[in-house]
Amino acid sequence: MSEADTNPSVPALSVAGVSHSFGEKQVLDNVSVTVPRGTFAVLLGLNGAGKSTLFSLITRLYDNVSGEIRVLGNDVRRTPGKALQRLGVVFQSKTLDADLSLQQNLLYHAALHGLGSAEAKRRAAEALTTVGLADRAHEKVRNLSGGQARRVEIARSLMHRPGCLLLDEPTVGLDIGSRESVIGIVRGLVQQHGLGVLWATHLIDEIADSDLIVVLHKGRVLFSGRLPGFLAETGAKTAREAFRIMTGTASTEEEAA
């Protein structure tokens, strides 16, 4: 265990002064985000705000050429192996192998992280219990509902014991019950294990009063703080109204990111 893992002052995720462009189009402009440990942070923004691009930089799918990104104190450019080892990710697109069982999907991920067979099976059972699917470990993924598959992806992201979780629009396409289940599981991980979570969404109703709110709009961070500050800064009575005022948009549910 590194010094950063035992030092509570080191945040789960630190993004400082990051910009990114595709050709002449700038999609992120001097973005800074800090997610302390034990914090559920909501990255709130419409389609095209830059949420997925930011996630791609954090996970090294893209290279950040400006600013600095650290996961539990580990710089993703200078020590990518250490940084990614502390990071769990649930992408918006489906990434499970439908022809493999739940357990097999998790064991494959464990092998990529160098875990031995016995330890991997133990962790898979533990992770599937956490998401309420231990009794379906040997079923094929194709038999699952969309919400259940999302829960398996969360279980997979826990296999290597990360300190920070990124979830990119994880409830898109899910019914209300499945959305509540997925959100509840992740909030439980924050409370029980002290994980830092960055949850990207365009849905205002996924915000809880205790969350850290980060508003990303057209590649820029317009606000970072708690709900009382969000309301006070805009003079709004609700988070939905505050978002509309701050971004000059009609609704956060007009487009799905």
41-65 pLDDT, tens digit per residue, is 999 999 899 999 999 999 999 998 8
- Distance from C-alpha of 59 to C-alpha of 71, rounded to nearest angstrom: 10
Instruction: Specify whether the CB–CB gap between 221 and 45 falls below 8 A.
Output: no
Query: Which element (helix H / strand E) includes 232?
Result: helix 227-234
Residue 255: pLDDT band (50, 70, 90) is very low
Question: What residues contact residue 197 under an 8 Å CB cut-off, 6+ apart?
Answer: 12, 35, 39, 40, 41, 164, 165, 166, 167, 186, 189, 190
Taking alpha carbons only, the member of 86, 44, 93, 91 closest to residue 69 is 86
| Percent of the chain residues past pLDDT 90, beyond the cut | 89
- Collapsing DSSP to helix, strand or coil, 207 comes out as coil
Map tokens 């993703």 to a residue.
76
Residue 198: pLDDT band (50, 70, 90) is very high
Instruction: Specify whether the CB–CB gap between 166 and 59 falls below 8 A.
Output: yes
- Distance from C-alpha of 31 to C-alpha of 186, rounded to nearest angstrom: 25
- Collapsing DSSP to helix, strand or coil, 105 comes out as helix
Provide the token pair at 257: 């990111």
Domains in the chain (CATH in brackets) are 1-86+164-257 (3.40.50.300), 96-161 (no CATH)
